[in-house]
Structure 1
Amino acid sequence: NAPSFNAQENYINITCEGSTITPTIEAEIQKGFFWSSDRVWTCYRRNYFAVSVSFGLTPWVANGHLYLNRGGRKGPERIQSMAMSLSATNGATGNSIELIQRTLKRDKGPQLPMKKELLSPTPPGKSHNDHTYGIGSFHTTTVMAGPQLPLQTEADQSYQYSPASHSGSAHQYTFERIQFKSATANNGKRGAQQPYYHLVVELWANVQNLQEPRWVKIATRSSPPVVVIGRSPGYFPKEGPRTAGARSPG
């Protein structure tokens, strides 16, 4: 079992050939969490977890031009490329919580900053699990024509997204070997409110018109509350902490 992500939040309208396009984020936590006796999703700070992500667009318009509509004087802005990212927030304050991504060398290797990952929309009829790409993998495949994204396979020298870890035409990416940099506070303390974190999967569109990428957040999906602990099982007192906003799985 693993936490299921909450309903999607959309921020900006997308259009194509006069039609409204609805983005749908797919996200799955593949490992690293357990449902504790205190009825809250929990992981160990030093343990790795993985999150696979992809997105679809409805309706599917082959070779169509996608536009963002942010209002104001700018008018519709052409989407040049799309990407997804993984972040975390504090459930009480909304402040950013740092995540760490490790290389194949794990703890002995360097830490990688969390970057936007270029991803193409999943064609109709393909499942979320058809093609998975992670660190160090590279694969291209022939698929049905999708919307035109002129810069989807262009390298970004500013490294605002990961360099060449996978093809920009990939439809799914797995954030692997991820850790929370810090544990939640008050873990197991009697009478103390239990803080919690949320994992957040984000969908982005690049609307650059010259050389500098301009990424705009389109939509997000957040996980239910999670507790991050740094000690072994059984340290909680028998009555358990008071978890804020926790809910049962499913």
Structure 2
Amino acid sequence: MTALRRLPVQVLLGGIALLWLVPTFGLLLTSLLPPSVIQSDGWWTVLAEPRLVTLDNYRAMFADRQLVDALVTTCVVAVGNTALLVLVSALAGYAFAWLPFPGRDALFLVVVGLLVVPLQVALIPIFSLYSATGLFDTAAGLILFHVAFGLPFGIFLLRNALLEIPVEVIESARLDGASEARVFTQLILPLSRPAIAALAIFQFLFTWNDLIVALTLGRATQPLTVAIFAQLRQYGANIDIIAPAAFISLAIPLAVFLSLQRAFTRGLLAGSTKG
């Protein structure tokens, strides 16, 4: 009886999932079709004629130096800023949760307030600052920008997650003579892995899919989103290059999310009972 009551909801969710997957599936098949077929027919043609499938589009894409460099840049920026953000957020979250210091609560309120600041308001000031300091059009500049604007959310998430750790565990480690560095590395980090995974996924996906920051703060240093945009703008009919690049741009973050989805769900619930 319970299964029957859940059936309509399951059918509805299955239908929504199918509608969401159709464009992705269509993009995959488009990336496997010859340019002549793409321009004259739809991606569904391959369902009737599987012999049309070819990897020539992917070979052409990886032969395009601009797109390959853009893919490498995207990986460097996404992985680099995610790792740096997680480290700094974990250290700050630990300090806000378990290290008493003057003005701690007031400073945390400032961090929470920064959550509402849109990154668009900082693009022009940061552009001027980067131009003066030599960080403009560099991977380091993009990494630092994304870390700066990801920190308020990262600190907020990890601070609340760390408050879930029983105080007895922390005090017991300190009474046993463990230093704060040892408490952090051997106790805090392992116990907060779900929240760290959730933060890492959020930041990785946001950075990987970023366009506006990369367009504003870069020229020759182009992530994959900017390179695809440039290909689409300059060569509107160059779908045989754009389709595989777009699919790779979609598939990598999707694979990261699916591989860490359990930790992601647990991380979102971390800190939900304490503030």
* TM-score, normalised via structure 1 length: 0.18
Q: Which structure has the bigger radius of gyration?
A: 2
The structure in which a higher percent of residues are strand is 1
